[in-house]
Structure 1
Amino acid sequence: MARGSRNRSKESRSKKRQEQEQELQDLEERVSSFSEVVDHFEDLPLSQPTKSALKNAHFVKCTDIQKKAIYVALKGRDILGAAKTGSGKTLAFLIPVIENLYRRKWTPYDGLGALIISPTRELAMQTFETLVKIGRLHSFSAGLIIGGNDYKQERDRLSRMNILVCTPGRLLQHMDQAINFDTSSLQMLVLDEADRILDMGFRKTLDAIITSLPKKRQTMLFSATQTSVSDLARLSLHDPDYISVHEHADHVTPDNLNQFYLVAPLPEKLDILFGFIKTHLKLKIIVFFSSCKQVRFAFECFKRLRPGVPLMHLHGKQKQASRTEIAAKFTSTKNAVLLCTDIVARGLDFPAVDWVVQVDAPEDVQTYIHRVGRTARFERGGNALLMLLPSEEAFLKRLDSKKVPIERINIKEGKKTSIRNNLQALCFKDPDLKYLGQKAFISYVRSVFLLKDKEVFKVDELPTAEFADALGLPGTPRIKFLENRKSNASIKKKEGKTALEASDEEESASDDEEEASDASESSEEDEVNSSKRTIRSKVDRMFERKNQGILAEHREKLLERSFSGAVASDSDSDEDFMRLKRVSHDLDDEKKEKPFLIDSKRKEKVATHKKTLLKYRPNPEKLVFDEEGNAVPFYAVNNEDTFLKDGAVAEQITSHLQKEREALTQADLQDKETVREKRREKKRIRKEKERAANGFADDIDKDDLGSGNDSAAYESEGAEEEAVPVKKQKKWFQVDEPEVDRNIVETEMPTTLEDQEALALRLLEGA
């Protein structure tokens, strides 16, 4: 019976295997012969587990990019896909990844089969969640490796993963450090938001990743904008199919997206944004800034001003746990405001976003398209607002060249609200907020300075003083990179003078000198040369400032210090005025210190250092004094002649030993006397304690001492002290006997009248 059951189970397994082989063969034939465009996933040549998972996730109808890209990718061909934001590009590459590995009978023991790279962590997490939904009925193992997670846990699980969704930086880290990470069997490579990954920020990282991957693979690139041909050559694409669903469309943005722009001065941007939020409290809004510090400053200020709507902020400086939490919270809320950077601009799908507000203009048209793509997704309507400076209106030409329809709007005067005074009050109360505002100011100016399109972004035309005042800052922060640029430009301008110009300047200078008189010529030349040689110190620059009233107290201290420390001499000239000098003390000529000039605080600190002053002082000597009071060097050594003056060597040894022996004897006698004294004192204290305990001192009768004098009496008393009985200590079992009082009359209890009368008589007799 057992043998028959085993045979039946073996037959069932072989039959099931044959059915799977037949299913895979039929699927391969359907894929190879499929060439038409369908509208539903059910009509595509997909496996049954994939169709069931798509149906359970409510994916029924295909979008335009999915219709054209999926069946081409199922045939194993390289794809370069471009589609509008929110058009469903994620499913366009996830479905072919799962199906191609399924048809190749990929198992967990075959290693890494597909690699999906996303530019941001949030997009990678969103892609992984979609992969889990549509691949849950397959036996593949999938993993997510992004920065901010535990590296050791990711490393231990890498060897068991068939599909990996990752970011470029963490992927390269595992390639360099993980021993068990093998990419030799890779079948498919997918780059989501390829234009962002191929940007300068990921160029070196991506080059290092591509060199480690096998050349025989299927590569798919998807983005909302086009990718350059040079970047495609770097990725080793083999005759790719270019699939674009908006190439012949009227515009590249979604049709149901309403796009507006307004021209506003830089100091009024925060006022406009706060007023916009106050008038759209029941909507879901995403606000884009150009830097992380701007996002944080606006969030902290608006949070204190309480506009009446939940506020959130998301930027790249946050930890991964908080970024994930904020993204999930904003996804689940119905009305909220998310202040963010371009980290949110790529591929993230936040449902039901009503408005996208761009406070700072994007760096190019591609970034603009990705930003506004966070709304009007999947045939849902949306609105977008772009704030431009008067110097940035040239950006409209860039949008028009890319077929981006946008119309201008103006803000009504009654709708404007100013928060400038509120920001000034907040910065005055909170120093941390003021510091954050300074950093936001500098980061914005730096972002404008670093943008490539100088025709649109002109950092020199920014009203920096008014912008700092609008942020609530007490003054304009110092912008070092702009100062360095101006100084470098002036240096280059000076270095660019021709030799002819230099010779002309020298000739004119010589002519001027010849016209001057001989007496004044030498003095003028000395002053000019000295001024050229003198280096302006930090103190000199401080005295040249115009706002001396701010540093008046500090300036007076410096003046007092300079006048008190200066050496008064007739030879002092105007050149030495306000220079700090070391005081010249009246010392001997040999030990006199040389006075030296100090023209800055740093030089003064160096000059007054101990090591520096040592060269102006003689070498220190330590002296000791003999019995006669003469100073003798501490390290002086006696010679043989001075030693023999005290006598022969043997005699000196004998006398020295005799002195030491006598000193020891005397010390021994003193120690013995000290011991005796301590014993006597101890005995005296003990006797006093015994006498006080026995009451002996109170019972002494002077008549009992004899007829002798007081001294003899006291001697006898001292002699008898030895015979005083010591009170023995009681044992633990002994009980004190009650003392008998002689005044107490003991009698039996009287019972009759006669007994009571007899007791009364006895008491009277006793009294």
Structure 2
Amino acid sequence: MAIAQNTGRIRPTKPKKNAQKQKRKRDDVDANKLQEAVDQIDVKSTFTSFSELPLSAPTEEGLKSAHFSALTDIQAKAIPRALQGSDILGAAKTGSGKTLAFLLPVLENLYRAQCIGADAGLGAMIISPTRELAIQIFEVLRKVGGKGHLFAAGLVIGGKGLREERDALSRMNIVVCTPGRILQHLSQTSTFNVDNLRMLVLDEADRIMDMGFKKDVDAIIEYLPSDRQTMLFSATQTKRVSDLSRLALKEPEYISVHEAASTSTPKSLQQNYTVTPLPEKLDTLWSFLQASKKSKILVFLSSGKQVRFVYEAFRHMQPGIPLLHLTGRQKQTARLEITQKFSNAKHSCLFATDVVARGLDFPAVDWVIQVDCPEDGDTYIHRVGRTARYEKAGRAVLFLDPSEEEGMLSRLEQRRVPIERINVRNKKQMSIKNQLQSMCFKDPSLKYLGQKAFSSYVRSLHIQKDKEVFKLEKYPLEEFAASLGLPGAPRIKFLKADPAEVKKLKNRSRMETAVSESEDEGSDAEEGGEDKSTKKNGVRTKYDRMFERQNQDVLADHYAKMVRNDDKDDVDFGRLDGEQAGDDALFDVKRRIPADSASGSDERDVPAANGYAEETGGEIGGSGPKAINLPGASAPLVLDSKRREKLLKSKKKLLNFKDKGSKVVFDDEGQAHPIYELEDEDAFKARGAPDEQRERFLRSEQERVDEADRADKQLAREKRRIKKERRKERERAEDEGEAEDGAVGDSNEDLLANFAADADGMDEEDEEEEQPKAKRQKKWFEQDPKVSRDEEEREIGTLDELEAEAARLLG
């Protein structure tokens, strides 16, 4: 029987620390064995489970705790090749396990290379297009790698201060990040070193490599070493040579397990579309929510403003199902909270933009509703991929406007997407148009959200690249605005698309504009049209009052810019119809100085106080140019264009056309003279030759100096005389004081008075020697330097002490 040896420790040794030491030693041995096993992998073999792969013990423990046992198709083909260090281009259907296909090689390759600790530096970088997807990847990494691996992993996605992330980046071995945030650290964080990077992973690579992140990715690649392993994964993989050359891939392995499949979407996904006119989409969506209250629904819209309006409107109407909304403009904490709520919810509806269309794994989503048509087939595939994940069942419905049906169906056919048309039952269809109008009438802020939703949707249609699907002129925009509860369609700056008409309006003068507007008003009055003045005096309906109503909060200015007062083209000086009222307008006319002062109504606009006078006739854009005399300018300013006329609004720009000024000084009489003024030559010669003038000047200066010297000497003699007299008076006063101090008084009060007078006399004498001026009265905190410390501290309390002090002073 073994006898326990006493180690001298009071507390028992922690078994956890010993286990860690043994594990590190065992890791060094296992790394060599694992490398040999990885080199012997036959990538052409078929693997069905994780136990068949040469994985480390910590990874196997993490897979077991996360209940991962069987390999998916993309994992079985990608992981063996990635373990051997090959560059991977992985493409597979949504929900097929692509995240684990690149996380396992990252853990294993760094494990075999012993890239552990702050000294090893950054070993792997995983880039995701969205914050939510990056958080999801990081959670899977923690779940699989948190059972024994010693790597330091971090999440860098923004939403917090740079300082917190900067301190942790220098210690990270694996970083999961978004392109913008990691580029900011690469360019600003001096302690962030990526020279030892071994692996680069791009999740949803086709989205990262497109125009939205192109500049960021190119800048990131410049910082990274070229000797690295690169892996790209996505449901719709990019094959463009330009993209692959930018990433410096070395003989990449293209793995597409579903390339030969008949469809690009999971077989368990049931896909349908319904032809719904644009003004009826909200009615159909509301009717669907009423019929599916016990489901988990994800609704996609084109813009964040649409998401906000639909969420606020439906929330007021209380559909009977929990509502959530998620956009890219929300704060990071709110986005995380909403994502967590929807993941944990059993029955809920989430209104979202395409920010959640890629990679996010929401459990048990029953329906994916696409109210707005996706921009292309790839976006459709990613949207519907939020349901029917991991071979589970799911349903997706796409709302298509009649003008979008033909073009979008052809795009889906090219992407091998099977979709079937369904019709909406008229009995189940409910209209919410009146309810939305009532809510917008009562709540101005909701009406403003509706106006912004309308503008953002039309703008999204306008910027779409595929004009065969999105034909802006075929959408019933007025009816769509009415379906949102708005009394009229807000102004859209890009709807006026005729270049000839835009140029004509731009070059038209203000007088022509005023005349045309007056003619239009007169013709409307003759045809029986209502004028604004008669409209105010006549009968107004509640829709008229709603149309004229303005917000009484901070949104009032934005609201006023979006309201269309009439159907005529509003043309203002220097601006087009689109530039007249828009949030993107850069310039705004504050005041105008017209060139024609003789033309009727413009006469009152000429700023006579500025001194601008006209020389020639004509009108800008009319018969000829104008010329204006500027004060301080020798040449007149010629106004031959609208741009030239705008110079009159800027005093700073007008300075360029004025003559250069000269600086002057004023004499005692107030007369202005140049700074450097030359004397008259004739007057100079009349005073004599230059040598004679020089001699006279030197002589006069010498006399002046001598006079000043004599005055200074006289003043010094007077000061010495006064000082001598003061010294004699002081000596005479001292003699008299000593004679008085010779006789000792009979009373104690006289002795004390003489003692105080003697001390004061000493102070006055010293002060007068140092400073002949009047003595300044001392403050309570000032000490007399002539009195010793013993005399200051000595206090007279009794008669005996008083007699002793008097005897000491007498001698």
- Taking structure 2 as the reference length, the TM-score comes to 0.62
Indicate the SS of the match to 2:417: coil
2:302 to 281, 287, 290: 290
Q: 1:29 to 1:488 in 2, by over 3 A?
A: farther
What aligned pairs does 1:731-742 form with structure 2 within 5 A after superposition? none
CA contact (8 A) 1:147 1:170 kept: yes
The answer on 1:32 being equivalent to 2:14 is: no
What aligned pairs does 1:165-314 form with structure 2 within 5 A after superposition? 165-229=176-240, 230-314=242-326
Indicate the SS of the match to 1:81: strand
The answer on 1:66 being equivalent to 2:75 is: yes
Q: 1:196 to 1:51 in 2, by over 3 A?
A: same
Structure 1 position 181, deviation (Å):
0.7
What aligned pairs does 1:577-726 form with structure 2 within 5 A after superposition? 581=604
**Distance in 2 (alpha carbons) for counterparts of 1:69 and 1:293:** 40
1:470 to 483, 490, 494: 483
Structure 1 position 205, deviation (Å):
0.7
Structure 1 position 415, deviation (Å):
1.0
Indicate the SS of the match to 2:333: helix
Structure 1 position 311, deviation (Å):
0.3
2:532 to 539, 543, 550: 550
Question: Which residue is 1:375 aligned to?
Answer: 387
Q: 1:532 to 1:130 in 2, by over 3 A?
A: closer
One-letter amino acid of the counterpart of residue 22, structure 1? V
| The 10-residue stretch of structure 1 (423-432 or 225-234) with the greater mean CA deviation from structure 2 | 225-234
CA contact (8 A) 1:579 1:598 kept: no
Structure 1 spans left out of the alignment, 5+ residues = 496-530, 556-574, 584-593, 610-634, 637-767
Structure 1 position 541, deviation (Å):
3.8
**Distance in 2 (alpha carbons) for counterparts of 1:44 and 1:290:** 44
1:153-208 deviation per Cα after TM superposition (whole angstroms, max 9, x unaligned): 00111100000000000011111111111111100000000000011110001000
1:473-492 deviation per Cα after TM superposition (whole angstroms, max 9, x unaligned): 11111110222x32467649
Q: 1:350 to 1:542 in 2, by over 3 A?
A: farther
Q: CA RMSD in A?
A: 3.6
CA contact (8 A) 1:581 1:598 kept: no
Q: 1:208 to 1:17 in 2, by over 3 A?
A: closer
CA contact (8 A) 1:579 1:597 kept: no
1:95 to 82, 95, 104: 104
**Distance in 2 (alpha carbons) for counterparts of 1:250 and 1:489:** 51
**Distance in 2 (alpha carbons) for counterparts of 1:208 and 1:296:** 34
Indicate the SS of the match to 1:259: strand
**Distance in 2 (alpha carbons) for counterparts of 1:19 and 1:318:** 47
Question: Which residue is 1:120 aligned to?
Answer: 130
One-letter amino acid of the counterpart of residue 101, structure 1? L
Question: Which residue is 1:655 aligned to?
Answer: none
**Distance in 1 (alpha carbons) for counterparts of 2:602 and 2:530:** 19
Structure 1 position 148, deviation (Å):
1.4
Q: 1:550 to 1:59 in 2, by over 3 A?
A: farther
Structure 1 position 275, deviation (Å):
0.4
**Distance in 2 (alpha carbons) for counterparts of 1:131 and 1:172:** 22
Indicate the SS of the match to 2:271: strand
Q: 1:15 to 1:453 in 2, by over 3 A?
A: closer
Indicate the SS of the match to 1:272: helix
Structure 1 position 140, deviation (Å):
0.3
Indicate the SS of the match to 1:101: helix
Structure 1 position 226, deviation (Å):
2.3
Structure 1 position 551, deviation (Å):
5.4
What aligned pairs does 1:12-23 form with structure 2 within 5 A after superposition? 19-23=26-30
**Distance in 2 (alpha carbons) for counterparts of 1:34 and 1:196:** 32
Question: Which residue is 2:175 aligned to?
Answer: 164
1:129 to 135, 139, 154: 139
Question: Which residue is 1:335 aligned to?
Answer: 347
What aligned pairs does 1:296-445 form with structure 2 within 5 A after superposition? 296-393=308-405, 394-445=407-458
CA contact (8 A) 1:580 1:597 kept: no
**Distance in 1 (alpha carbons) for counterparts of 2:268 and 2:64:** 27
Q: 1:445 to 1:12 in 2, by over 3 A?
A: closer
**Distance in 1 (alpha carbons) for counterparts of 2:424 and 2:175:** 49
One-letter amino acid of the counterpart of residue 402, structure 1? R
Structure 1 position 149, deviation (Å):
2.1
Structure 1 position 582, deviation (Å):
8.7
Question: Which residue is 1:502 aligned to?
Answer: none
Which is higher, the Rg of structure 1 or of structure 2? 1
Q: 1:289 to 1:103 in 2, by over 3 A?
A: same
**Distance in 2 (alpha carbons) for counterparts of 1:361 and 1:52:** 45
**Distance in 2 (alpha carbons) for counterparts of 1:132 and 1:542:** 73
**Distance in 2 (alpha carbons) for counterparts of 1:27 and 1:532:** 80
**Distance in 1 (alpha carbons) for counterparts of 2:277 and 2:120:** 60
1:45-67 deviation per Cα after TM superposition (whole angstroms, max 9, x unaligned): 10011000110011111111111
**Distance in 1 (alpha carbons) for counterparts of 2:222 and 2:152:** 25
What aligned pairs does 1:490-529 form with structure 2 within 5 A after superposition? 491=503
1:415-454 deviation per Cα after TM superposition (whole angstroms, max 9, x unaligned): 1100000111111111111111111111111101111111
Structure 2 spans left out of the alignment, 5+ residues = 9-17, 538-597, 607-614, 621-644, 652-669, 672-811
What aligned pairs does 1:476-487 form with structure 2 within 5 A after superposition? 476-483=489-496, 485-487=497-499
**Distance in 2 (alpha carbons) for counterparts of 1:211 and 1:276:** 50
Question: Which residue is 1:48 aligned to?
Answer: 57
Question: Which residue is 2:769 aligned to?
Answer: none
Structure 1 position 549, deviation (Å):
2.5
| The 10-residue stretch of structure 1 (129-138 or 227-236) with the greater mean CA deviation from structure 2 | 227-236
Indicate the SS of the match to 1:95: helix
Question: Which residue is 2:472 aligned to?
Answer: 459
Q: 1:533 to 1:152 in 2, by over 3 A?
A: closer
**Distance in 2 (alpha carbons) for counterparts of 1:175 and 1:332:** 36
Structure 1 position 552, deviation (Å):
5.5
Question: Which residue is 1:77 aligned to?
Answer: 86
Q: 1:582 to 1:181 in 2, by over 3 A?
A: closer
**Distance in 1 (alpha carbons) for counterparts of 2:170 and 2:512:** 65
Structure 1 position 147, deviation (Å):
2.2
**Distance in 2 (alpha carbons) for counterparts of 1:451 and 1:532:** 33
**Distance in 1 (alpha carbons) for counterparts of 2:353 and 2:363:** 18
**Distance in 2 (alpha carbons) for counterparts of 1:155 and 1:14:** 30
**Distance in 1 (alpha carbons) for counterparts of 2:364 and 2:130:** 21
Structure 1 position 32, deviation (Å):
1.1
One-letter amino acid of the counterpart of residue 333, structure 1? A
One-letter amino acid of the counterpart of residue 208, structure 2? I
Indicate the SS of the match to 1:413: coil
Structure 1 position 597, deviation (Å):
14
Question: Which residue is 1:631 aligned to?
Answer: none
Structure 1 position 548, deviation (Å):
5.7
Structure 1 position 29, deviation (Å):
1.4
CA contact (8 A) 1:287 1:356 kept: yes
- Taking structure 1 as the reference length, the TM-score comes to 0.66
1:484-504 deviation per Cα after TM superposition (whole angstroms, max 9, x unaligned): x32467649x99xxxxxxxxx
